[in-house]
Structure 1
């Protein structure tokens, strides 16, 4: 449905009023705020037309109307250009990421806190896929007979420790030689690349290599086994609990169910991986059980065409997107720059 200028003005007025108050908006308030010289009957008719088209709904017995996800989608498709983030906020985000620590996990965890603090909603950061992180070095430490600790250092300061089985007769010098050999051949490759090569070479290693390096490949195979689920860092859930929308017990239960469903959050964020720049989604329109009235602003980080992860802010449907979108967009760009220069 193509909205008329009158319908667009009325809908814009209702959306902006609802963002500010979280309360149903009545026809009198719309008439006063919109500047339209309409009779009460004409205003009610226009609001009824918008409701019939799916842009407004009437909660319970309230005389006012609230905008639906469809209304918010229309509002932001036709909103004026977003203002840039204030210089002070840009400095705080840039300096905060730069001082978060050397390890990638510490940077990403602090990034979720910065998102939450500046957006006043819940911030989320989806870590890079472990199999796409590059191998920097591996060392083996004999911890007891028949058991060694493999210490695999990945780009970004990520360290992965795993216990691997070894022969009883193995020595510390053997383990040092294994590490030197593996680092010479596999450093700089992603884990998925290294794993594929190791498995391929291990098949013919007994024919081509000495027993020493066959053992090295065997240990490496165990040390670079596929990683588990991607890390998701979240901060600021209390911002959501303080919103008027979630004072209702049923709405609160749906919110907590959604936040507890890590798989669902991962799916929502991963849909942003192929898109550039900040994206807005209204989760009431998303498939799946427990979808409530909340919005998600997300953006990939890691470089154009080579996104490594996603950051996002989740909040009530009426959150101030004009404020949140620049926060998410700028933070994603700063995180990308940091990864490119540091790691």
Structure 2
């Protein structure tokens, strides 16, 4: 049967607008639904109530909340479940109370380690830690900062037809890309790497591209075959460098949530997380400088993840840092998740500063 949901156009904008009994009932429904993932019965809410109240009274209140658009009823014989709008009011209220370190599991702090030069490994471990600590699917989108100067560029043959491009920054970060090339042996690649590194050392990625373009124009008639090879490889290697790296935690954690027992729905969510451009568009819309954001259900524009919630925070300077967060069912434990996302965003921002 179709869900019975309210058609009210006068949705409250704050939990404080509700009468005390209505506020207590909707909070009980939210908390029990978050824990059980099952429709909540009026008798269950009556047992949780701080004051003595009958199941019939609670049932009438739940009916009013349904008419207001805060609860819905999957079918006539079932209990009620919170709507996206109820979760929005709940999260807004929670955000005004949750401090950066409240409810932060002790194990999170102990699991953190300083990056030791392998930035990729540090980012992957952070995404995994987000997943493990929250029980949701953690992700980290790291913008490749144009402002970081390059130390050197190296080309490494990985097959007869493909090269790996390694862009190493002066801070020890490494960005790798695969490009097609079948003409050069490793000795030639090493020599071209040395020439190109001498040209772009100390430059940001944008400056390196500009310097290379200028050198190509200036040396157009040069007969040195090694320089021509260095120019050719540099143009392809530097232009293929993407502006972001996406790290995703343990995808199997989504299987623990009954909302993702539908294989098709699970596949849609995972596909969205695997596409960097898609995630960059999502974060551009929901990440705001110095602000942790929670986007719930129908608020998400991407239809494949509209049944989910995303908790995310920026990393460092928003124009360079990217963001990290988690994605999971709308029915997530926000009081547990929010402090962890906030804490890790501040920690990683400090590490990459």
Q: TM bucket by the smaller chain?
A: 0.7 to 0.9
> Does structure 2 retain, via aligned residues, the 8 Å contact 1:294–1:315?
yes
Q: Which residue of 2 aligns with 1:192?
A: 206
2:349 pairs with one of 313, 336, 339: 336
How far does the alpha carbon of each residue in 1:218-268 deviate from its partner, in whole angstroms, 9 at most, with x for none? 442222123358432222322221223334x4xx42132221233344533
Mapped partners of 2:157, 2:78: distance in 1 = 73
1:282 pairs with one of 276, 282, 296: 296
- 1:181-330 matches, within 5 Å, as 182-206=196-220, 216-228=230-242, 230-247=244-261, 249=262, 252-261=263-272, 262-263=274-275, 264-301=278-315, 303-330=316-343
Gaps of 5+ in 2: 1-10
* TM-score, scaled relative to structure 1: 0.79
* Range with greater deviation from structure 2 (64-73 or 102-111): 102-111
Change over 3 Å in CA distance of 1:238–1:219 after alignment to 2: closer
Mapped partners of 2:167, 2:328: distance in 1 = 38
> Does structure 1 retain, via aligned residues, the 8 Å contact 2:287–2:312?
no
Mapped partners of 1:185, 1:274: distance in 2 = 37
Mapped partners of 2:77, 2:149: distance in 1 = 57
Change over 3 Å in CA distance of 1:129–1:61 after alignment to 2: farther
User: Post-superposition shift, 1:118?
Assistant: 0.8
Give the root-mean-square deviation of aligned CA atoms: 3.7
What secondary structure is seen at the aligned counterpart in 2 of 1:271?
helix
What secondary structure is seen at the aligned counterpart in 2 of 1:23?
coil
Change over 3 Å in CA distance of 1:140–1:27 after alignment to 2: closer
Mapped partners of 1:229, 1:149: distance in 2 = 17
> Does structure 2 retain, via aligned residues, the 8 Å contact 1:254–1:292?
no
Mapped partners of 2:184, 2:41: distance in 1 = 78
User: Post-superposition shift, 1:107?
Assistant: 1.3
Q: How many residues align?
A: 329
Mapped partners of 1:187, 1:199: distance in 2 = 15
* Range with greater deviation from structure 2 (194-203 or 14-23): 194-203
Mapped partners of 1:89, 1:275: distance in 2 = 28
Mapped partners of 2:190, 2:305: distance in 1 = 52
User: Post-superposition shift, 1:321?
Assistant: 1.0
* TM-score, scaled relative to structure 2: 0.77
Q: Which residue of 1 aligns with 2:107?
A: 89
Mapped partners of 1:255, 1:167: distance in 2 = 43
> Does structure 1 retain, via aligned residues, the 8 Å contact 2:104–2:340?
no
Q: Which residue of 2 aligns with 1:120?
A: 135
* Range with greater deviation from structure 2 (267-276 or 105-114): 267-276
Mapped partners of 2:150, 2:335: distance in 1 = 40
What secondary structure is seen at the aligned counterpart in 1 of 2:153?
strand
User: Post-superposition shift, 1:323?
Assistant: 0.9
What secondary structure is seen at the aligned counterpart in 2 of 1:227?
coil
Mapped partners of 1:133, 1:166: distance in 2 = 31
Mapped partners of 1:117, 1:327: distance in 2 = 11
Mapped partners of 2:104, 2:84: distance in 1 = 28
Mapped partners of 2:24, 2:284: distance in 1 = 35
Q: Which residue of 2 aligns with 1:45?
A: 60
Change over 3 Å in CA distance of 1:136–1:8 after alignment to 2: same
Mapped partners of 1:194, 1:149: distance in 2 = 18
